[in-house]
Amino acid sequence: MLDNQGNLWVSVPGQLMRIRLKDKQFHFHPVKSARLLINDDAYLLTLFDDREGRFRFIGMPSGDGLQVVDKKTGKTTVPAFVNVPKADENSQMVRGVMQTADGTIWVLGRHILYRFNPQTMRLEVPAQPPVFSKEFGTNYYTMMAEDGQGNIWLGTAMFGLFRYNPRTGEATHFMPDEKKTGDVPTNVVGVVHADGTGRLWYASRDRTAYGYFNSEENRFVYLDVDGKVTSDLASMRINNYFTDQKGNTWAFTERGIYVFDCAAEQPRLAKKYTVENGLLYDYVTWGVGDDSGNLWLINGRNLCRMNLATERFTVFGKQDGYPPVNAGIGKFANGSFYLRGFGGYYTFNADSLRPYESQAPIVLTSFKVNDQEQYPGSELAQSEPFVVTADGRYFSWNLRPSTSRTLSCAVTNTSWKGLTTSGLKLEHAIW
């Protein structure tokens, strides 16, 4: 039977069990495509709500390409795209959706930059940046961002950067030029981002280069693996950027998190976070902040919450209902968070998300007495007190871990030499 607190009580021979049912913390929202998808499990490339809270934009790599949901009526509209015959990739692919400072909603396709008309519910094609390669017939866009001057920067997979003026339709093209100091260092620009000052940050996801654009000097600044200005190309992958409420820019990389103080005229590296500071892995793919001073990260196959004030990390994994997705995290206009997945997306409330507390199993791979391995070649999974006889004395211990990490201990003769734990809480030890 169920009690008023939601506990399930089960009567079995010889005992009575109480089962506490976990609340569902991540809620799945399926997305179906009316058109045939290349892959039935195609993941979502982008999710976006306009500032007015009227529409939800769902971008896909194929199939419908873009679905626009009227949040008031629930009606879904699938706008038509322009087919690019020469391009060898799907013209329906949506790389990003954003709303600029003037309220215009822009949709970046793989080949074309569109402007969404909320009255007609159609995608309009304004004046386009010139196609760099007539052979390919497309610029292969990757991402877009608006800078402080109202320009839209377009990253490409092969042809550098475009700075597009939406008011005039004019575009400036940036390609690597060894003879020109301060030009964009790479033709592969997978990430573009504008910080709190409107400064444009760029990065390549193939370990080529990253940095920012100095608009006053009209040149690109290169940064090295230590976040310092350099004339060389940095061999480090940048996955994404995020700017917090204080204006700091966070770079999520394969070597941890780099935090840049952007308040000064020239950004400087203020802090770096790696596994030594509490990250599960140095490889961080996405991050976004909430309104309570926390940063939410996709770190490996886990979701991590970082308290910016205390710099403490809380990990959410499979035991907490976290779905096996790492396609990206973001925040809707209403403050709820989403995780892009396959065939749909998950939402969760950051304020009410709690880790599931239970006793995790301890796995021992080594236990030595007098520097002699007691169980060579075996792996010991302990759920009861561990007891070892040594020189007529007994050593027993109970541990209750907070997370399933590692335990290391050393025993010399018949006395405890030392006991160190990582991620484990020692309830009591008896010897």
Q: Could you read off the pLDDT of 124-146 as tens digits, one per residue?
A: 999 999 999 888 889 999 999 99
Which residues does 289 contact at the CB level (< 8 Å), separation at least 6? 242, 244, 245, 295, 296, 308, 331
Cα dist. 280→145, 256, 277, 315, 409 in Å? Answer: 30, 10, 9, 8, 22
- Residue found by looking up tokens 């968070």 in the block: 337
Average pLDDT of the segment spanning 349-372: 64
Band the pLDDT of 53: cuts 50, 70, 90. very high
List the single range of 197-211, 277-291, 369-383 with lowest mean pLDDT. 369-383
**Secondary structure of residue 128 in the 3-state scheme:** coil
Identify the pLDDT of residue 21: 63
The reported pLDDT for the residue numbered 373 is 60
Tokens representing 125?
Answer: 């094609």
CA 187, 244, 251, 66 dihedral sign is negative
Whole-number Å distance between alpha carbons of 346 and 339: 5
Asked if 388 and 414 count as a contact pair (C-beta separation under 8 A), the reply is no
Could you give the CA distance from residue 264 to residue 248 in angstroms, rounded to a whole number?
Answer: 11
Nearest by Cα to 161 from 212, 101, 90, 107: 212
pTM of the model: 0.78
Q: How far apart are CA 90 and CA 59, in angstroms?
A: 13
pLDDT band for position 354 (cuts 50, 70, 90): confident
State the pLDDT confidence band at 15, using cuts at 50, 70 and 90: confident
pLDDT tens column, 384-415: 444 454 453 434 333 434 444 444 444 434 44
CB 247 within 8 A of CB 197: yes
CA angle 51, 52, 54 (to 5 degrees): 115
Mean pLDDT, range 82-97, rounded to an integer: 85
| 27-348 topology per CATH | Methylamine Dehydrogenase; Chain H (2.130.10)
* C-alpha 411, offset from chain centre: 42
Residue 119 is predicted with a pLDDT of: 96
Mean pLDDT throughout 193-211? Answer: 91
Domain spans of the chain, in order of start: 27-348, 362-430
Q: What is the pLDDT of residue 371?
A: 60
Start-end of H helices in 274-421: none
Tell me the average pLDDT across 337-348: 91
What are 386's two structure tokens?
């561990």
CB within 8 Å of 68: residues ≥ 6 apart: 55, 56, 57, 58, 76, 77, 78, 79, 116, 121
Q: Kindly state the percentage of the chain with pLDDT values over 90.
A: 53
Across 197-209, b (16+ Cβ under 10 Å) vs e yields eebbbbbbbeebb
Closest by CA to 123, choosing from 140, 111, 134, is 111
Give the pLDDT band of residue 1 (cuts 50, 70, 90).
confident
Distances, alpha carbon 325 to alpha carbons 8, 24, 104, 309, in Å: 30, 16, 31, 28
Amino acid sitting at position 45 = L
